[in-house]
Chains A and B, each alone.
With several copies, the nearest count.
Chain A
Amino acid sequence: MSAESATPLAQRGQRTDEDDGGAPPEAGGAPDAKKPGFEVRLANFTGPFDLLLGLISKHQLDITEVALATVTDEFIKYIRNLQKLGEEWALDEASEFLVIAATLLDLKAARLLPAGEVEDDDDIALLEARDLLFARLLQYKAFKQVAALLDATLELEARRYPRQVALEEHFAAMLPELVWKHTPQQFAALAETALKPRIPAPTEVGLAHLHGSPVSVKEQAELIGLRLQQGRPLSFRALIADAESTLVVVARFLALLELFRDQVVAFNQLAPLGDLTVRWTAPGAEWSSDHLTEEYEEQP
């Protein structure tokens, strides 16, 4: 376990961009990570599951439905604080937090309702979401534990230094004479290639598990855009009524997040678990889905 996990939770949220200097490598790492935002602050915990586990253990609870309901408010508060501190969230990082926050809210709300039987598809969906969240959280916890084991092993092993000495001169002298055929120009060309910034592999969003499905967030965004631009607010339920698979539902949800980020739609929800109403707020049809391509297209 690193020192950072020992940092009291209360302090974590207050760490801001000053972390840039001493932030762990991956936070300050690539040039694109320079963006002020979520990732830098994420350096203090390693993701929504880590935060959730941190909150649960703070209350000395086991991972149960009760625990999740108990820590929901804190989780949401934590995200709010980050939001206040931050300028912009990187969507792919923030969306995980939002998805989990939404699931937690659902679970908490469900617990507040009178205990009832499973009545309709929504209840089943809620149960599935709960199971999925538990499963993912427990899986993450397992990996977090083995990561601690790896850390301990790596540290222990680092105390052994391998013998790695330069080749004794008489052996080095026996090496075959180097064949060198490069002219300075050819060598320079080689350097050009080697120094050219490599085009980073496309950023993936966690959709690989969907087995190369043809569903595109971009297409779904266009579709939703067209429907909403008719002028009438629609509920999310209505927007996904014709979705032929869960995948399409997910894609539409992601598309809505994108549209919301672009500030062309507004959400309205009157009651917990109530219908989510979506309204088009952009003037006319100015919005274009063109920029969505890079972020969600996964094919190389």
Chain B
Amino acid sequence: MTKPGQEPSSEDTASGGTDVTALPGGARAALEAVLMVLDQPASATDLAAGLNLTVAAVEELLLELQREYDGYTVKAPDMEIASNAGFTSSPRGFELRNVAGGWRIYSRAEFADVVGAFVLEGQTARLTQAALETLAVIAYRQPVSRARVSAIRGVNVDSVVRTLTQRGLIEDSGTDPESGAVLYCTTSYFLERMGIGSVAELPQLSPHLPGLEGIEEFYDAGRM
């Protein structure tokens, strides 16, 4: 499924003329229908374009659905009875999450054991300690060359980097203009797997570096 690039106002698509609000369940249900066929996170902008709605409207609907799936008060035009009664339903078996810059439906973590029995694939092999450390260095120092990662870890990281690339967690992101070394970055799949929107949401590194606030400058000064 790819992201539509057109503006919400464009009329040259099949949905150009569809007024989703007129359909049963309205825009909310239409959005839900689209969420059902996604195989990767879709941004509010892409969803808005596909639905002929404004981004703001879609964002509001997304948050509404998210809350609803989580079991908070239902809020929708024709559900006022329930809403007014302050009625709270139990959480659904799935949730709507905003990860890696897009929205996507996930089964709820509580049901992992049950769901796991049905989903043979998607079972993820655990990363080794070496792979985790390498991934951590790349995540915090990206874009970064293998040489720099090995300098930090104290060992050669070539084969670990290869594994992480094959797993789609990191990718080649060009070369260093000075040294010509290949630089690596984390991928959006990494963000998805971490359940975060961007690398800026990774836990801070500095609290783990007690009394060494200046260490980054020290290394960047070319000493290491």
Contact = CB atoms under 8 A, between A and B. Distances in A.
Direct contact between A and B in the complex (CB less than 8 angstroms)? Answer: yes
Interface of A: 1-2, 4-5, 24-31, 33, 39, 42-43, 46-50, 90, 92-93, 96, 100, 132, 135-136, 138-151, 153-168, 170-172, 174-180, 182, 184-185, 187-188, 190-198, 200-201, 203-212, 298-300
Contact of B124 (A48, A158, A172): A158
A298 B158 CA distance: 14
B195 interface: yes
Interface in B157-207: 158-160, 162-163, 165-169, 175-176, 178-182, 192-196, 201-206
Which has the most chain B C-beta neighbours within 10 Å: A42, A90, A154?
A154
A30 B95 CA distance: 39
B154 A191 contact: no
Interface residues of B, number: 90
Contacts of B67: none
Given A136-B224, A180-B194, 7 more contacts: A24-B131, A163-B107, A195-B141, A208-B151, A209-B222, A211-B178, A211-B179
A180 B135 CA distance: 13
A64 to B, nearest CB: 12
A141 B219 CA distance: 15
A175 B97 CA distance: 23
B151 A195 contact: no
Contacts of A175: 120, 123, 166-167
Contact of A29 (B136, B182, B216): B216
Interface centre among A24, A39, A143 (most CB of B within 10 A): A143
A179 B215 CA distance: 32
Nearest to A34: B216
A151 B132 contact: yes
